[in-house]
Amino acid sequence: MAVSWSGAKTGDNVLDVCCGSGDLSFLLSEQVGSQGKVIGLDFSKNQLSMASSRQDLVSKACYEKIEWVEGDALDLPFSDCFFDAITMGYGLRNVVDKRKALEESFRVLKPGSRISVLDFNKSTQPFTTAIQEWMIDNVVVPVASGYGLAEEYQYLKSSIREFLTGKDLEKLALEIGFSRAKHYELSGGLMGNLVATR
């Protein structure tokens, strides 16, 4: 859904900010095809190395058009109005300056194009918040522990508590200059996706 909501289409030049190991980048490349181009940007060399290794394992023509770039979501190394679509999966919640990250995405996005931001949802419903926290404590962290990654996931609850609500994300996007912004709650309110049009 995040890729679909980005509006990326065949032949487009697209950016996946905070791409991590490349999940959305690979989906974007299938959307834009071998005529398009995907740039996966992340500040972590280790994540980019993992993404590149995954790219080498699958021989799809469209995957050859993915470029991995080490960079900062708060200072994107691209010219103004450069991309036809942008995605960001589970990254906005983790940047130190959410406004600056969205401003940078706005800057490099072509007029009329969209950004699609997928992340955990900061629910305003106590019951949904309780379920989300229970799942993190009893499913996510224990599974991560099995892979030796418990420490990497311990911060989830606090980062979600400090994140913006869907309404706050919409308001921020409009303040920055996006012409439209809509936040969709997914998975019973556990996840959310902001879609904003420049």
What is the residue extent of each domain of the chain? 1-121+164-197, 123-162
Tokens of 178: 């996006």
Q: What is the Cα–Cα distance from 182 to 47, expressed in whole angstroms?
A: 29
pLDDT at position 85:
98
Q: What is the Cα–Cα distance from 108 to 80, expressed in whole angstroms?
A: 4
Helices and strands per DSSP (H, E), number in the chain: 9, 7
Question: If the chain, 198 residues long, is cut into consecutive pieces of 10 residues, what is the mean pLDDT of each piece?
Answer: 96 97 96 96 94 88 93 98 98 96 98 97 89 90 83 83 94 98 92 97
SS3 at position 159: helix
Class of domain 1-121+164-197: alpha beta
SS (H, E, C) 76-109: CCCCCCCEEEEEEECCHHHCCCHHHHHHHHHHHE
Which residues face 16 on adjacent strands? Answer: 40, 87
Q: Is the pTM of this model over 0.85?
A: yes
